[in-house]
Structure 1
Amino acid sequence: MLTAPIRYSPDLEHVQDNEAETDASLEKSFDHILHTTAKDYGRPVRAVHAKAHGLFEGTFTIDAHLPPELAQGLFATPGSYRASFRVSTNPGDILDDNVVLPRGLALKVEGVPGEFVAEAEGDAQDFLMVNSPVFAAPSADKFAGKLKLLAATTDRAPGAKVALSTVLGFINSALGKVGLESGALAAMGGAPQVHPLGETYFSTTPFRFGDHVAKFRLRPLSPALTALTGQVIDTKGRPDGLRETIRQDAAGLTGEWAFEVQLLRDLGQQPVEDASVEWPEEVSPFVQVATLRMEPQDSWSADKVQRIDETLHFSPWNALAAHRPLGGINRARRRAYRQSSTFRVAMQQGCPVAHAEEAAN
Structure 2
Amino acid sequence: MSPDYVRYRDDLEQLQPGEAETTAKLTEMMRGFSEAMNTRYRHAVRSVHSKNHGLLVGELEVYEGLPGRLAQGLFARPGRYPVVMRFSTPPGDILPDSVSTPRGLALKIVGPEGAEMVEGHGGEVTQDFVFVNGPNFGQKDAAGFMKGQKPIQLTVNAPEELKVVASLGARLADSLTGGKGKLSPMLRKLGGHPHTHPLGETFYTQLPHRWGDYVGKLSLVPVSAHLRRLKDQHIRVVGETDALRDNIAAVIAREGGEWELKVQLCADERTMPVEDASVLWDEGLSPFLAVARVRVAPQDSARPDKLVYGDDRVSFSPWHAQAAHRPLGAVMRARRAAYRMSADFRREHNDEPMTEPRSQADLPRP
Please say whether Structure 1 and Structure 2 have the same fold, judged by a TM-score greater than 0.5.
yes
**Partner SS for 1:142:** helix
> For the aligned residues, what is the CA RMSD?
1.7
Cα deviation digits, residues 185-224 of structure 1 (max 9, x gap): 3333222110001101000000100000000000111101
Q: Is the 8 A contact 1:139 1:275 kept in 2?
A: yes
Aligned to 1:17: 17
| CA distance in 2 between partners of 1:88 and 1:221 (Å) | 20
Structure 2 residue 252 is the aligned partner of structure 1 residue 250: yes
Q: Is the 8 A contact 1:26 1:148 kept in 2?
A: no
Q: Is the 8 A contact 2:104 2:131 kept in 1?
A: yes
**Partner SS for 1:176:** coil
- CA-CA distance at 1:180 after TM superposition: 6.3
| CA distance in 1 between partners of 2:242 and 2:61 (Å) | 32
Aligned to 1:117: 118
| CA distance in 1 between partners of 2:112 and 2:84 (Å) | 13
Aligned to 1:330: 332
1:260 to 259, 262, 270: 262
| CA distance in 2 between partners of 1:164 and 1:81 (Å) | 42
| CA distance in 1 between partners of 2:209 and 2:82 (Å) | 22
CA pair 16-176 structure 1, distance change in 2 beyond 3 A: closer
| CA distance in 1 between partners of 2:217 and 2:238 (Å) | 36
| CA distance in 2 between partners of 1:85 and 1:191 (Å) | 22
| CA distance in 1 between partners of 2:292 and 2:26 (Å) | 34
Segments of 5+ residues of structure 1 without an aligned counterpart are 351-361
Q: What is the one-letter code of the residue matched to 1:2? A: S
TM-score, normalised with respect to structure 2: 0.91
Aligned to 1:46: 46
| CA distance in 2 between partners of 1:234 and 1:102 (Å) | 16
- CA-CA distance at 1:171 after TM superposition: 3.2
| CA distance in 1 between partners of 2:158 and 2:216 (Å) | 38
**Partner SS for 2:31:** helix
Q: How do 1:1-361 and structure 2 match up within 5 A? A: 1-113=1-113, 114-120=115-121, 122-176=124-178, 182-349=184-351
| CA distance in 1 between partners of 2:199 and 2:286 (Å) | 26
- CA-CA distance at 1:173 after TM superposition: 2.7
Cα deviation digits, residues 110-141 of structure 1 (max 9, x gap): 13331111122731000000001111411101
Aligned to 1:356: none
| CA distance in 2 between partners of 1:307 and 1:258 (Å) | 25
CA pair 115-213 structure 1, distance change in 2 beyond 3 A: same
Comparing 27-36 with 112-121, greater Cα deviation is found at: 112-121
Comparing 70-79 with 306-315, greater Cα deviation is found at: 306-315
Q: What is the one-letter code of the residue matched to 2:10? A: P
**Partner SS for 1:228:** coil
Comparing 167-176 with 218-227, greater Cα deviation is found at: 167-176
CA pair 154-180 structure 1, distance change in 2 beyond 3 A: closer
Q: Is the 8 A contact 2:52 2:307 kept in 1?
A: no
Identity of aligned residues (%): 44
**Partner SS for 1:219:** strand
